[in-house]
Amino acid sequence: MYSMLSKKQLRDQLRQRRNELSFQEKNKASEIICKKIMGLSIFKSSERLAFYFSHDGEVDIRIALSKALEVKKACFLPLLHCTLDHHLDFYSYHLKSELIKNRFGIGEPDPTRETPIATKELDLIFLPLVAFDKDGNRLGRGAGYYDRALAFLKDSNAQKPKLIGVAYEFQKINSITAEKWDIPLNSVVTEKNIYHF
């Protein structure tokens, strides 16, 4: 269905489909996906986890974030770098964190109040995505924020952080042409399946 489309066309079509989901459909999928996430052995064993706040129809994983905080895991959120274009860092997040909206309207930790962590120190990162394929390739929004933050994984034997994509089942496509800078996912969780690559 999507094989002949450019990446831009793919993004446009899948984002549109995502945004056409009803509030009830999104909530139901979110609950199912968060339950699957919380059942993962890597979720249970990880101590430092990075989440995201959903935007543009992405799967909302705040239930899993709340559970991680409840069991005293160290939680982090991405923060768009203030001086380096298309870069992001990770900062601590807890129940009393005050969030500041970035230029996309997404809540981020206040860097003057929260603690940064080096990406390589994280055990597990949950990533939003527009599409994924059978090999764990991820199509994001196209700005390359996560690819830059995770570039150190490309040429190293680093065992962490593990990368888990979060998506609706309809975001799975046959194949994504991987660029040399793309970082593949270890797993993807949808409302229907858990895929390991």
Q: Per residue in 107-160, pLDDT tens?
A: 999 999 999 999 999 999 999 999 999 999 999 886 778 988 998 898 777 788
Given the structure tokens 């080096």, which residue do they identify? 118
In a domain, 86, yes or no: yes
In a domain, 21, yes or no: yes
CATH number at residue 118: 3.40.50.10420
For residue 104, what pLDDT is reported? 83
Residues at the annotated binding site for ATP?
Answer: 7-11, 138-146
Rounded CA-CA distance 32/45 in Å is 20
Cα 150 off chain centre by: 12
| CB burial of residue 158 (10 Å; 0-12, 13-18, 19+) | exposed
Residues at the annotated binding site?
Answer: 7-11, 58, 138-146
The DSSP element (H or E) to which 138 belongs, if any, is: strand 138-139
For residue 61, what pLDDT is reported? 98
Domain total of the chain: 1
Residues at the annotated binding site for substrate?
Answer: 58
Rounded CA-CA distance 162/126 in Å is 9
Confidence of residue 2 (pLDDT cuts 50, 70, 90): low
User: Amino acid identity of 46?
Assistant: S
For residue 83, what pLDDT is reported? 60
In a domain, 120, yes or no: yes
In a domain, 185, yes or no: yes
How many Cβ atoms sit within 10 Å of the Cβ of residue 64?
24
In a domain, 186, yes or no: yes
In a domain, 1, yes or no: no
Domain that residue 144 falls in: 7-196
Q: Please write the tens of the pLDDT for every residue from 36-52.
A: 999 999 999 999 999 99
Closest-CA residue to 88 (of 40, 56, 125, 57): 125
In a domain, 179, yes or no: yes
In a domain, 2, yes or no: no
